[in-house]
Every structure is written in structure tokens, then in C-alpha cells.
């Protein structure tokens, strides 16, 4: 006699207390399956939350690193205000190997370019970590248009710096040509 025709078996449901061992086994299989599903969902939620925390941590690290670099760079001009015009007021430097100021200006230009190179890389590589990543590009371009020493040192040492920074110099020089054609001095 088949269990398909047995009315007692047909009326039983899958539950932990059923008399049919096969149905009881299926009940516990379903419980285990649903429990696994809940654990998987919680695991996915935890991974997503961890990734979000890691992203925030990376963002904080990137921003703190740049803040430190820019603050140290600003300190150069606070400690040596006589260097400021060569970087922000379009003042040309007449290079004199016997003048210690020439060495200071060139050393400061190298430091500025080092920070620009890092900023240019981070504004591209970590673009989503900044509210306005183009602000870094605007800052670099503005500094190139106002600091002839920066353009000279980068031209003299193009191979020291990334293509990204060299491209930003090219953009600034195009802007300078455009300004000259419109009779707009970069510094007034």
C-alpha cells in the first residue's frame, strides 16, 4: 500500500512534531535553510557596513595627508614671506648662483611642485574622496599662472613629476597665452 493513498499521511503537515520522520526531517531542513539565509543576509549587511567604514577611513586618511602637506607648504611662506611674490604675484626670479635667495626660491618651488604632484594624483586617484576634486586642479593651475618660478622649475625637471602635473602646467600655459591675447595680465 502506497503512502500517497493513505489519508493519514496526506493530512500531515511539515512540522517538528509530526509522526512521519521524513516530514520531520524536511521541517528541520527548512529551518536550517532559512537560518542560513538569515545568516547570509546579516553577513552581507556586515560586509557592506565594513566597506562603508573603510571608505570613510580612506577618505579621512587622504584628507588628513593633504591637509598636513598643504599646511607645511603654507608654513614655508609664513616663515619666509620674502618668497611669496615669486609664487603668487608673478614676480620673476633673476637667478644668481651667488644669491642664497635664489636657492631658497628654487628649493621652495621644488617643495611646492612635490605637493602639487601628490595633489594632482590624489584628485584623480581618489576623486570620489573629495567634495570638489576639481578644486585641487584649479589651485594648481592658478599657482602656475601666478608663479613663473614654478613653470621654470617644472620645465627644467619634467621627468621628476607625473604626466598629470605636466598636463596641468600645459593647461596653465594655454590659459596664459589666452590671457595675453586678451591683454589680461595674470597678476594685477
Give the pLDDT confidence of 66-100 residue by residue, as tens digits: 888 899 999 999 999 999 999 988 888 887 778 88
50 and 125: one domain? no
pLDDT the model gives residue 41: 95
Question: Which cell numbers hold the place of 24?
Answer: 520531520
Let me know if residue 116 belongs to a domain.
yes
Cα dihedral sign for 121, 126, 132, 134?
A: positive
pLDDT the model gives residue 11: 64
Let me know if residue 186 belongs to a domain.
no
Share of the chain above pLDDT 90, in %: 48
CA-CA distance, 157 to 119, in Å (whole number)? Answer: 18
90 and 167: one domain? yes
The tally of domains found in the chain comes to 2
Q: Which domain holds residue 4?
A: 1-56
Phi, then psi, of 92 in degrees rounded to 5: -80, 150
- Per residue in 3-53, pLDDT tens? 555 555 556 787 777 788 888 888 899 999 999 999 999 999 999 999 988
Let me know if residue 188 belongs to a domain.
no
Q: What's the predicted TM-score (pTM) here? A: 0.68
Let me know if residue 75 belongs to a domain.
no
What is the rounded average pLDDT of the residues 107-129?
A: 84
Identify the CA nearest to 156 among candidates 164, 136, 148. 148
Q: Of residues 78 and 185, which shows the higher confidence score? A: 78
Amino acid at each position: 500500500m502506497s503512502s500517497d493513498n493513505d489519508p493519514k499521511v496526506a493530512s500531515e503537515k511539515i512540522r517538528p512534531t509530526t509522526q512521519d520522520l521524513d516530514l520531520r526531517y524536511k521541517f528541520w531542513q527548512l529551518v536550517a535553510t532559512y537560518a542560513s539565509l538569515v545568516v547570509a543576509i546579516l553577513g552581507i549587511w556586515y560586509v557592506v557596513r565594513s566597506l562603508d567604514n573603510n571608505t570613510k577611513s580612506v577618505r579621512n586618511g587622504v584628507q588628513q595627508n593633504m591637509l598636513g602637506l598643504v599646511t607645511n607648504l603654507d608654513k614655508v611662506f609664513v616663515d619666509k614671506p620674502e618668497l611669496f611674490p615669486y609664487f603668487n604675484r608673478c614676480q620673476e626670479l633673476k637667478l644668481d648662483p651667488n644669491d642664497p635667495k635664489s636657492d631658497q626660491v628654487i628649493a621652495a618651488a621644488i617643495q611646492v611642485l612635490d605637493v602639487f604632484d601628490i595633489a594632482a594624483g590624489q584628485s584623480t586617484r581618489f576623486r570620489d574622496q573629495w567634495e570638489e576634486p576639481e578644486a585641487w586642479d584649479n589651485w594648481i593651475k592658478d599657482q602656475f599662472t601666478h608663479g613663473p618660478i614654478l613653470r621654470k622649475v617644472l620645465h627644467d625637471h619634467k621627468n621628476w613629476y607625473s604626466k598629470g602635473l605636466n598636463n596641468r602646467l600645459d593647461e596653465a600655459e594655454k590659459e596664459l597665452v589666452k590671457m595675453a591675447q586678451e591683454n589680461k595680465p595674470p597678476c594685477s
